[in-house]
A and B are shown apart, each in its own frame.
Chain A
């Protein structure tokens, strides 16, 4: 994080609960984090760890009910997003905070042309007329690397490949020049070469436009290349966050360490089988009163069953929520 810069997005103590037939699902439990202007924050964690729900909560995109935000604050440009009226919220969405979703095959409306869909936020937020918006849409498609952009505006989504559609989604998200781009696993549904192209594109765009980015993924490998800082989520909580080099060099939380071990090593022997993390993801039926990772943790101690570890700041923006100290291999002395 560039030192001293005031965060553009400041989330504190966010709690989101779903009410389902099977009872409550506490998907996000007291999540706090900050995003600096221009920063690229990577968010990792296994499936169901609450990455998407966290990001959707903070901009009101979850269906309510079943979702309910039980508490917290999301400060953006001096206002708490969670307290905004629906109209105020709509003025932020797509204008100041852009979204790219996981599945480009279904995220675009099949019956409208790509041009219409890219032009829509421009007309909604920038007060552009049809013609003007259309022209700008062509520029945006060009910006995200779609060849023959002007001609392709009148094509429908099904006439684009998956990678091209994700580029269109990025063009839509960036249409109004937002300060924040939230990308929820934007490359997961794409094959590897296309993934690399999209990553490259985002890196370029960030340099050109300078927006802050939250990049959600469950692949630490993707994060390593592009993120400034990484946040690791488990069971609806942030268990560790650190600058990217620090996290890879000095992982603290047993879950982060286990995640790193599952990465195929670049130098290591190929014959070794990929490791997986043993055990099941935690039940989210109630607000956790103990460490959510205890059942799968290698270093579990008695205290882990009794309390949920609080966030400890180690140094240089490195936070971890664990009773075990990776440096000493013993219980942490606070």
Chain B
């Protein structure tokens, strides 16, 4: 197991290098001019100087190598310095700078991360916590009214896009409901809100309710279907009959024997879905004005902010590769039949 994990980890290095190259080259092909958004009064010579200063006159392979050095050496070192309040070396390194804001890209990302983790991450957790019991009960009581309702709701949750449910909720709970009612919820996520006491905590919870609900519905729809299918697969297995023949209670049969087997594929699916949390549900963040990573990416794309887009995209790629590995390792831990060495 350990050897396998190590081997897989080593194997991620060439994979990630390749992905980074593709991302770098693709974005390099984009017909973008970082000076394009500057005032028209700036003369061409000055623009050329700006470009030279940004290093854009260098050959592409050299810029790639410099970027690699920044991404894999400089930025991690900076993060470590900030986290532990120490200085490594002289502490002066060239950082990946955003074209638009001229500030380090990684700082922007660190700034946006908490909102995304809170809203999108919370919705994932809530979604899972709703989905698992629903999946289990739906399968155990297949074709019951509970199962039928679950099927219907998850069909809706799955097929209605989040920008629709989001706007619908805003129309109902922010517009139609009077603003002094308990059922009124803010449609705009206020990042400046600091949780200091109970009242502000309540406010924070209230502003998270709608975006979390929208995303949780979507996640739960997907995962509960998966859980249900996996449970159904297992409920008909011979070992379930053996468990019943032992005189075990239905709870033990279903929640120990069947559930343990059914969770194996579901856990891997959940692990594979985690990178999407970081990717930020881009659309939902837009709808509720949550200034998270998803929104940052959209701003970056609209402003032709190549370093920002490059870095974000690559971070998502790293997460996807990493959580693929996590899913595989989890599978091996959960299923004793799988031998990885």
A residues contacting B by CB (< 8 A) are 59, 61, 86, 90-95, 98-99, 101, 103, 106-112, 120-121, 124-125, 156, 158, 169, 172-173
Contact = CB atoms under 8 A, between A and B. Distances in A.
Interface of B: 237-239, 241-250, 252, 257, 260-261, 264, 334-337
B242 A109 contact: yes
Nearest to B234: A109
Nearest to A62: B241
A62 to B, nearest CB: 10
A130 to B, nearest CB: 15
15 contacts: A61-B244, A93-B244, A94-B246, A95-B247, A106-B237, A107-B241, A107-B242, A108-B239, A110-B239, A110-B336, A111-B334, A120-B246, A125-B247, A172-B246, A173-B245
A109 to B, nearest CB: 4
Contacts of B237: 106
Given A109-B257, A109-B261, A111-B260, A93 B238 contact: no
A91 B249 CA distance: 10
Residue among A103, A120, A125 facing the most chain B CB atoms (10 A cut-off): A120
Given A92-B247, A94-B247, A111 B335 contact: yes
Contacts of B248: 90, 94, 120, 124
A61 B245 CA distance: 7
Contacts of B334: 111
B238 A107 contact: yes
A109 B239 CA distance: 5
Given A120-B248, A158-B336, A111 B242 contact: no
Given A61-B241, A109-B239, A110-B261, A156 B247 contact: no
B242 A103 contact: no
B188 to A, nearest CB: 47
B238 A111 contact: no
A94 to B, nearest CB: 4
Q: Which of B241, B246, B261 has the most CB of A within 10 A?
A: B246
Given A90-B247, A90-B249, A106-B237, A101 B242 contact: yes
Contacts of B250: 86
Contact of A172 (B242, B244, B257, B264): B242
A99 B242 contact: yes
B246 A110 contact: no
Top 10 A-B residue pairs of the complex, sorted by shortest distance between their CB atoms: A94-B247, A94-B246, A93-B247, A99-B245, A106-B238, A109-B239, A156-B336, A90-B247, A121-B246, A107-B238
A90 B247 CA distance: 4
B260 A112 contact: yes
Contacts of A125: 247
A120 to B, nearest CB: 6
B239 A107 contact: yes
Contacts of A93: 244-247
Nearest to B250: A86
A77 to B, nearest CB: 15
